[in-house]
Amino acid sequence: MIKGATLVKIFPKSFNKFTSGFWRALHYMAPTIKDIHDTKVNNKLSNLLVNRINKIVMETYDHGIVWKILGSAVATAVKYGTRELIEECIIAYPAIIWYNVDGYYLILEAIIKRQERVYNLVHQMSFHKVFVATQLYKNGNDNALHLAAKLAPPHRLTVVTGAALQMQRELQWFEEINKFVKPSYREALNGMEKTPRMVFIDEHTELLKDGQQWMKDTASSCTVVSALTITMAFAAMFTVPGGTQVDGKPLFLNYNTFMLFIISDAVALFSSSTSTLMFLGILTSRFAVDDFLYYLPKRLTIGLISLFMSIAATMIAFSATLVLVLSDKVTWIAAPLVIATGIPVYLFALLQFPLLVELVHSTYGRSIFYQQNARRLN
């Protein structure tokens, strides 16, 4: 029996043509696969290039040259968040971790630039983070927590949607750095006689206002929709399809479709009521700075999920009503109308689902500060 490897040796050209043709067809039919393939190829080639450059630089045995070349590469990588380049440079020359970028050590520059991938890498690979975080910088004015309290660069703020989630991201950074600074440094004064908390509030005043307005606008719009859903679901419960008998019992009480109508209408009423309460809780909130970390995103998440459930349940109740009313007379029109009721649910999911996913991920998902696959330095 001829094995696959033997076939490749016997028909190398045919095999190569088949492979290249297969990949071209796959790339044509699925552009996403092509993008993933190209990204992986570029990453692999970039790693080979970085390793080759590092080897050439290290073979000079000149500290000044190594420090200058690798240091400039690391400084650029911090700016753009290229953690792979930084990792290879640190492995090749561990002392580069102390390179100053604009007067700050590597981990502090990552905090200033809000590059969490770089921060996670240096945090994981080295043991000097506690020492660095407890030092004062800029002539003794600021410590690491003061730096984390300052407003992120504009291009790093826009990685999440909406001012409220941007405020949450800033609070996540501040709380992360707050974990490993000395307790005394949490209330330390800088050159402007301000604590880190005071710096954070001053720097984020405008973002806080924008976050409040964004939350209020979103909650107000959704409250109107959920209130209308409550009205319709409540009215439908007492005006059941087909009417009632003399004794007051619904005419279609023994039909399974009618039970579907009752259950879906009840779900619509309860979920829309929950949604309204959550959005009212947002509108009546004090909108303190710390509320944007967990309290407000949690209420908005529950409100959006409940609103989606209420809209979906309302459409199901409407479909059940159509089936009950039209099944005996106009059967051909019932099916298209039932299918059409899914359009509003689809549109709501299409428009609001990305925001909901981002809310759930940023509030309940994996933190932006997580363990990466990196080699640790001693």
For residue 101, the 8-state DSSP code is B
Same domain, 59 and 149: no
Residue 306 scores a pLDDT above 80: yes
Task: Indicate the range of 15-24, 30-39, 40-49, 131-140 predicted with least confidence.
Answer: 131-140
4, part of any domain? no
Same domain, 221 and 334: yes
Residue 148's nearest CA partner among 191, 116, 123 is: 116
Same domain, 104 and 145: no
Same domain, 356 and 234: yes
Q: How far apart are CA 69 and CA 355, in angstroms?
A: 42
Quick: pLDDT tens for 77-101.
888 888 888 888 888 888 888 888 7
Quick: pLDDT tens for 321-333.
877 777 666 566 6
150, part of any domain? yes
Single-letter amino acid, residue 328: D
Q: How far apart are CA 314 and CA 260, in angstroms?
A: 11
For the record, the structure tokens of 299 come out as 């209420």
For residue 104, the 8-state DSSP code is B
For residue 250, the 8-state DSSP code is B
pLDDT range class, residue 140, cuts 50, 70, 90: low
Domain finish residue from 203, 232, 254: 203
Distance of CA 358 to the CA centre of its chain: 4
Count of alpha carbons within 13 Å of 5, Cβ hemisphere only?
0
Quick: pLDDT tens for 148-178.
999 999 989 988 888 999 999 999 999 988 8
* pLDDT at res. 171: 95
State how many domains the chain has: 3
Same domain, 190 and 70: no
Quick: pLDDT tens for 239-295.
777 666 666 676 666 777 788 888 898 999 999 999 999 999 999 999 999 999 999
Q: How far apart are CA 334 and CA 340, in angstroms?
A: 10
7, part of any domain? no
Domain finish residue from 203, 224, 254: 203
Same domain, 180 and 221: no
Same domain, 101 and 240: no
* pLDDT at res. 169: 94
Q: What is the mean pLDDT of the chain?
A: 81
* pLDDT at res. 25: 67
Residue 335 scores a pLDDT above 70: no
Same domain, 107 and 216: no
- What residues contact 73, with CB distance under 8 A and at least 6 apart? 85, 89
Q: Which residues constitute the domain of residue 274?
A: 208-364
Same domain, 197 and 57: no
pTM metric for this prediction: 0.79
294, part of any domain? yes
Task: Indicate the range of 31-35, 289-293, 340-344 predicted with least confidence.
Answer: 31-35
* pLDDT at res. 125: 73
Domain finish residue from 109, 128, 147: 128
| CB 213, CB 163: distance < 8 Å | yes
375, part of any domain? no
Single-letter amino acid, residue 48: L
79, part of any domain? yes
Residue 309's nearest CA partner among 264, 362, 359 is: 264
More confident site: 60 or 288: 288
| CB 266, CB 229: distance < 8 Å | no
- What residues contact 309, with CB distance under 8 A and at least 6 apart? 267, 268, 271
| CB 181, CB 144: distance < 8 Å | yes
